[in-house]
Amino acid sequence: MVYMSAAILLALLILTSPALVYFQNGSGLNIHSAKKNSQQSSADSIPAHSVNSATGPESGYHVSLSKFYNSGPAPMGIADYGYSSQSGAYRYNSTSFLGTLKLNSMYVYNSTSGSTGSAFQLNLMLNFSAGGNSYTYWIQDVAAINSGSNGKSQYISFIDNVWNFSSSHSTSIYPSSLRGNGSVYQNTLYYAYASNGLAGSNITVSAPVKIELKADSNLIAGVPEVSLMYNDGYGWVTYDNIYFTFASGASSDSGFVVSGYSYNKLGLYYDAELILGGPGNGSSTKLQSGSVDFSLQYWNGHNYQFVPNAWNYGSDTAETIYGSNLSFLPSTRNASLYSSMSTGVETLGQLYSSGSVGDVNISLPYSSGTAYVNNAEYNYTNYGLNLTLMPGVYNVTISPASKNETLKGSFSIRPGQYLSLNQSYFGKKYTVKLNETGLEAGTPWTVVFANGTLVSSDLPTIAIYLQNGTYTLIPNSTAGYRYTGPPLIVTVDGSNQSMYVNFSRLYKITFNQTGLHGVEWFVNLSGNVSYELGDSISFNLTNGTYNYSVIHIKGYTTSPDKGILTVNGSAANLTIRFIQSAYTVTVKEHGLPDGYNWSLFIDGSWHYSNDSILILNLSNGTYAFAAYGLNGSYTIKGSNATISVAGSNETVGITFISAYNSGINLDYKLIYVVFLAAVSISGTIAIRRRQ
């Protein structure tokens, strides 16, 4: 699982280790006792990446996170390297880490080996000092999984490994140097133990299931000790206590160290990681289906707190997974910071940084108790608690263990903010319950204070805690719904309050037009005007009755042009027809003997008259025409013979001349054109009519 020297890696590959965990092909899982057996292959996790031990420990301003992995397959989950891409390197140590897994469903399969095995690993670096020397040991608390093809059935067992990373030249662990339930294997290479006969281990569980892994570091009578625990629904079980007896009289115990300033003496990271990879021996597996959520917390002296920065992959282990995608899944509702794994392509990167979350310190006069932050429960000690949270608004209820009273309050936190609160902040406050009506279950809704503070929930009731006073609250409309009431005025005067926030469902009302192309049109709906170049205009409306009108467009009649619309629990469509208006065009001819027939071709039709006047009905537009009289012996002269209509009646004069007379007279509003010329170009004149 770690990156060791080439010589150690070669020795590891030559030697075979005891089969603490051996995954059979298919779905079977056998747990074997820890005994030396050189004929069995190991399924223990192994260090697999080589470094040049001759160079000694690496150091620098900060570590490089792409040293061993920069793409998948990789150990995927959540990790803290002591480094942030925004703020750089940092260091901290803790006596305990808690890894939480929400295994919603999971099916993994390695097509080469036929294995359906995988392993969730809580990997930590333990550091202590004794006899003037500093020691580093790699601690692994592992949940071994064999998954059924349906993604629900999961066979689970728990094992641990301990590796010596104290020197770049010697990584030996001697049986006399430590004491626990397990044994040292592969000629002093590593320590391991597989839990047997304990509650919740070597059983089949059905997803969804919550699995917790915890490691504690203690100094007991001067001896460094590590306790390894799990909880998969059967309560907390401590399955191994490992005492580093060689270090009796240890001068200091740093516990588990996270540092991005330098590598350890084997060139590996001082990190904390909760990852999913292959079942052991540096193996890989593929996520075929399912999803898993990961969270990682450390003990800060008061309570368990989410790590300050998180990446979606580990690096110290060689077991990997592919076909998985990790995304950040924060929740203000549950006051939690999770990474969420699903099928996809590995993209390695930072989940969140200290600049994108906020830290809250709450100092209390009570030594211990329970704090409820939104829907999350925190047990605290030593007169306070520290929290790392997503930006947002949080309701806090604090129940001290020593007193029968409750402190309540609310606070909001911004990205990168450090917020310090004490008991005075939690002055006497009263509960104001805002109860929504009209929303479908699970629909998020938001209320805004006059000062801009947001409170949101996807539950039917939002509880806020306010001191005496008057407050203005404005419910926001939410997707598919509208708050139609006035701002809420809340007066708190020494008692709790309860108010209702009424939302109305919105229905899509669509006006569809016909007859217009590329023309902007407008609908006025009870004073709200909307316009569009396309074929439809939509409004989202609550139940009720509305007046509408369609704004007049010159040259068109509209049907209907106004009306009353009733919305009654469903969407609706209305059709608006735009029809081009027709105008009277009077064509007066001159030049023909009285009573002679003449004809005019326009807009695709022939029109005839034996009088001096011809009446046409035309819509707006410009029309080419041709005219002739007396069986073609009279014509008009000129090119581009057109009649234009622009929103009003027109009178047009044409003068016929003998077809053998080449002269032409131009009078006001008279058009002269030669009939034969008009006919010759009629094929090229576009006769168009604006629709």
- Domain residue spans of the chain: 6-352, 358-426, 430-505, 507-580, 582-680
Going by pLDDT thresholds of 50, 70 and 90, the confidence category of residue 675 is very low
The CATH classification number of 582-680 equals 2.60.40.1120
- Is domain 507-580 annotated with CATH 2.60.40.10? yes
DSSP letter string over 235-281? --EEEEEEE-GGGTT-SEEEEEEEEEEEE-TTS-EE-EEEEEE-SST
Residue 26 DSSP class: B
User: CB count, 10 Å around CB of 229?
Assistant: 20
This prediction's pTM = 0.60
Question: Quick check: 422 and 363 in contact, CB under 8 A?
Answer: yes
What mean pLDDT comes out for the span 539-554? 93
Dump pLDDT digits (tens) for 313-335: 999 999 999 999 999 988 888 88
**What's residue 27's pLDDT?**
25
Question: Quick check: 349 and 311 in contact, CB under 8 A?
Answer: yes
CATH fold of 358-426 reads Immunoglobulin-like (2.60.40)
Dump pLDDT digits (tens) for 389-425: 999 889 898 888 876 667 888 888 999 999 998 877 7
pLDDT at 537 over 70: yes
Question: Quick check: 619 and 583 in contact, CB under 8 A?
Answer: yes
Dump pLDDT digits (tens) for 423-461: 777 766 788 999 999 999 989 999 998 778 888 898 999
**What's residue 404's pLDDT?**
67
- Is domain 430-505 annotated with CATH 2.60.40.1120? yes
Q: What percent of the chain has pLDDT above 90?
A: 56
Residue 374 DSSP class: T
pLDDT at 349 over 60: yes
Dump pLDDT digits (tens) for 174-221: 999 999 999 999 888 999 999 989 999 999 999 999 999 999 999 999
Of 165, 186, 159, the residue nearest 175 (C-alpha): 186
Cα–Cα distances (Å) from 244 to 33, 162, 220, 231, 550, in that order, read: 22, 11, 10, 25, 86
Question: Quick check: 87 and 134 in contact, CB under 8 A?
Answer: no
